Amino acid sequence: MRLFGIRFSFKKWLGHAVAVLIASTCILFSMKESCAQGGWLPVGWFSSAAILPDEMFPLNEKDGPWLVLATTFRGDGARDDARQLAQELRKKHRLTAYTHEKAFDYTGAQEGLGLNPDGSRKKMRYVNNEQILEVAVLVGDFASFDDSRGQKMLTTIKTLQPDSLSAESGRSQAFSDLRRMVGAGKNKNTKGPMHLAFITPNPLLPKEFFSRPQLDDLVLEINSDVKHSLLDCPGRYSVRVAVFAGATMFEQQSDHASEKKKSDKMESLLVDAAEKAHRLTESLRRQGWHAWEFHDRESSIVCVGNFQQIMIPASDGSTIVDPEITRIVTKLGADPQKMAAGVILPRSVDGIMLEIQPKTIDVPQRPTVSR
């Protein structure tokens, strides 16, 4: 009876295991697309999407912000060579590769150094009077320069041996000439044709993007429990509508004050600034504004709105300030008609005065971490 019971339990367990396996398999295949995209399962488990022969995978502002610049092609055939490499990196090596084009015009007169006898600037011409197209191939999407994934990818790229860059491919003449000049390929065990690769920022992003202020642990802790924190603002920019000074006000106190009084006064000013910022944020939210608050070591601020760019294209081809930014400045700044008449009176919300002239600011960011 015991043996029968063991066999029965084993058969029951085996049936249950098979059922679970079948169900899991069904779930995996039903979630094929979402899992592959979300990174829950290795992308290599699934077949890659078909790549069109003429697909260039152009870089855009949403990529990066840091990438590995694998190599650059120039001159005739640069676009075709870059496309071949980008497609091979995507299809064969399963790397997220992009291409980015840049044209250089060396034709026509150029302003040179020095002056002519009549005081006008000298005009010069380049020796090689031509227009050149360069196409770069970049790989990856990394959060920072020292992203561990980016550094690992850089090592991989430097040792990779793509078929499209081999001497037998019959392509990439300009690239092959450059490789011979720098001595690449002498030792294929340690160097690949892209051994000069390096980490670079996305060239489509403005320089200001990489100079956004990052925050220390204390400021992060101060803002950790804030419901509508500016750190959660999804935009690159916001409009500051109020500033409440804290510690900076106390710096004007007399030098003979005790350290204890200094500390207490500083804390009191910061708390008062934070409370005003919070109250104003809540009041603006109730009025329908997307308001955010932020607190640092010296002050608290309130901002409204979230924007990826300040200037946007107009219908006539020019650029204008985002109309929503203009609306915020007009509605929450000082009355422009009264200012024109010489009366500068800030607006107030819930008894709290706003800035006379709201201004766009960079949204502060948390310390960059590997994605």
Domain ranges of the chain: 43-115+123-204, 212-362
Name 71's bridge partners.
137
Mean predicted lDDT score pLDDT of the chain? 77
- H or E segment and range at residue 3: helix 2-30
The answer to whether residue 118 scores a pLDDT higher than 90 is no
- Cα gap 259→38, rounded to integer Å: 53
Q: What is the pLDDT of residues 164-214, one digit of tens each?
A: 998 766 554 455 444 444 444 444 456 789 999 999 999 988 776 776 666
Binned at pLDDT 50, 70 and 90, residue 287 comes out as very high
Q: What is the pLDDT of residues 321-348, one digit of tens each?
A: 999 999 999 999 988 777 777 778 889 9
- Cα gap 269→264, rounded to integer Å: 9
Closest to 238 (Cα-Cα) out of 270, 284, 170: 284
Closest to 95 (Cα-Cα) out of 134, 60, 67: 67
The answer to whether residue 245 scores a pLDDT higher than 70 is yes
Residue 284, pLDDT score: 97
Query: Hey, what are 285's tokens?
Result: 């939210």
Pick the more confident residue, 155 or 168: 155
- Cα gap 217→255, rounded to integer Å: 29
| Residue positions counted in the chain | 371
Pick the more confident residue, 91 or 118: 91
Query: Hey, what are 216's tokens?
Result: 């220390």
Mean local confidence (pLDDT), 43-47 = 39
The answer to whether residue 79 scores a pLDDT higher than 80 is yes
- Cα gap 87→183, rounded to integer Å: 26
With contact defined as beta carbons under 8 Å apart, do 239 and 305 qualify? yes
CA distances from 256 to 109, 111, 205, 261, 288 (A): 68, 62, 50, 10, 47
Mean local confidence (pLDDT), 251-267 = 57
Residue 37, pLDDT score: 35
Residue 111, pLDDT score: 73
- Cα gap 35→30, rounded to integer Å: 9
Query: Hey, what are 200's tokens?
Result: 């670079």
The answer to whether residue 130 scores a pLDDT higher than 50 is yes
